[in-house]
């Protein structure tokens, strides 16, 4: 009975040890499928020595299993540590990249600010240059306006002097014409008689040609001749009223001296010969004549 009690105590101790080991391993590893350790108590018909040997064998298996589980746990911890190191390394790299990106962005922002300052400086310089240019343009415009006003004033004075000179010459010419009036009267009468004689001789001419010749003759009679007019001519346009009154005279081409003298002769004549025939007058009321001084 003493041996049976001893055997029972050994088995109980081993059972408690196995349970404790199982709880420890279960708490550490938490296996997906728990293992059950079988312990045979009070095996019938087995001697005490065999029971001790069985317990010894089971203890070695448990120790082996414990070592395997410890190795698995160590491997798992090593893998986890490696994973954590990798994560830390990636986090460090990511942080480094973020810092580099932040530095790059800061550099870009600094460059942007620098360019913005340069742009504002350039714009300010451009505004200042434009303002200066506008001031210079205004100054130039004021100077130009002043010059134009002076030129206008000078021109007005020149025109005034020119008109005064023209009036003086006109007065002199009027006095000269008046002095020649009596002499010209006799010459005019003689010229009219000669014109009438030539008109009679030109009966072959048409009425229009006749009155054209009469108008030409009338102008020739009033023309004040000058030796410088020799060989020169003037082409005129005359517009006449129904009674022969000259409504308009204009030089078309020719020598200026001859044209001026001819226009004066037309105005001096006051009226020119026209036909009472309406059809003839229609041909005479707007005519072009070529006058050649009879020198």
**pLDDT tens digits for 264-280?**
999 998 899 998 888 88
Using the CB atoms, write b or e for 127-136: b if 16+ within 10 Å. Answer: eeeeeeeeee
Residue 243's contacts (CB-CB under 8 Å, 6 or more residues apart) are 271, 274
What average pLDDT does the segment 148-160 reach? 90
Is pLDDT above 50 for 160? Answer: yes
- Return the pLDDT at 35: 43
- Return the pLDDT at 43: 41
For the record, the structure tokens of 275 come out as 């036909």
- Quickly state the pLDDT bin for 193 (edges 50, 70, 90): confident
- Quickly state the pLDDT bin for 232 (edges 50, 70, 90): very high
Cβ neighbourhood burial of 188 (10 Å; 0-12, 13-18, 19+)? middle
Q: Using alpha carbons, select from 86, 83, 69, 87 the residue that is nearest to residue 32.
A: 69
SS3 for 12? helix
CB 219 within 8 A of CB 266: yes
Could you report the per-residue pLDDT of 60-100, keeping only the tens digit for each? 888 888 888 888 888 899 889 889 998 989 988 888 999 99
What is the percent of the chain with per-residue pLDDT over 90, rounded to a whole number?
Answer: 25
- Whole-number Å distance between alpha carbons of 190 and 200: 15
Is pLDDT above 50 for 5? Answer: no
Strands 286-291 and 234-240: antiparallel
Phi and psi dihedrals of 30, rounded to 5? 50, 65
- Return the pLDDT at 10: 54
Q: Directed axis angle between helix 256-269 and helix 207-222, to 10°?
A: 100
Residue 116's contacts (CB-CB under 8 Å, 6 or more residues apart) are none
Is pLDDT above 90 for 37? Answer: no
For the record, the structure tokens of 150 come out as 């002076």
- Quickly state the pLDDT bin for 237 (edges 50, 70, 90): very high
- Return the pLDDT at 244: 94
Is pLDDT above 90 for 7? Answer: no
For the record, the structure tokens of 152 come out as 């206008």
Quick check: pTM over 0.85?
no
SS3 content of the chain, % helix, strand, coil (to 5): 75, 10, 15
Higher pLDDT, 168 or 20: 168
Task: Order the strands of the 286-291 sheet from edge to edge.
Answer: 246-254, 234-240, 286-291
- Whole-number Å distance between alpha carbons of 158 and 65: 134
- Return the pLDDT at 201: 54
DSSP state, residue 271 = B
- Quickly state the pLDDT bin for 172 (edges 50, 70, 90): confident
- Quickly state the pLDDT bin for 45 (edges 50, 70, 90): very low
- Whole-number Å distance between alpha carbons of 41 and 206: 175
């Amino acid at each position: 009975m003493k041996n049976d009690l001893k055997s029972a105590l050994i088995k109980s101790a081993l059972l408690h040890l196995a349970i404790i080991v199982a709880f420890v391993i279960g708490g550490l590893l938490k296996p997906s499928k728990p293992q059950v350790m079988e312990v045979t108590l009070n095996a019938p018909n087995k001697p005490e020595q065999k029971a001790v040997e069985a317990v010894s064998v089971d203890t070695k298996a448990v120790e082996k299993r414990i070592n395997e589980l410890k190795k698995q746990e160590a491997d798992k911890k090593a893998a986890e540590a490696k994973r954590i190191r990798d994560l830390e390394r990636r986090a460090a790299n990511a942080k480094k990249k973020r810092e580099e990106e932040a530095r790059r962005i800061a550099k870009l922002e600094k460059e942007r600010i620098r360019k913005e300052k340069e742009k504002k400086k350039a714009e300010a310089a451009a505004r200042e240059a434009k303002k200066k240019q506008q001031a210079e343009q205004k100054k130039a415009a004021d100077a130009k306006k002043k010059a134009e006003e002076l030129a206008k004033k000078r021109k007005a004075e020149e025109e005034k002097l020119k008109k005064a000179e023209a009036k003086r010459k006109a007065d002199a010419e009027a006095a000269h014409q008046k002095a020649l009036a009596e002499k010209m009267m006799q010459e005019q009468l003689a010229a009219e008689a000669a014109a009438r004689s030539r008109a009679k001789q030109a009966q072959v001419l048409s009425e229009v040609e006749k009155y054209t010749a009469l108008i030409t003759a009338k102008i020739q009679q009033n023309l004040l001749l000058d030796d410088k007019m020799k060989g020169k001519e003037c082409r005129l346009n005359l517009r006449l009223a129904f009674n022969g009154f000259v409504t308009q005279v204009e030089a078309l081409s020719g020598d200026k001296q001859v044209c001026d003298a001819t226009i004066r002769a037309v105005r001096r004549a006051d009226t020119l010969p026209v036909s009472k025939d309406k059809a003839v007058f229609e041909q005479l009321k707007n005519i072009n004549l070529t006058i050649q001084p009879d020198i």
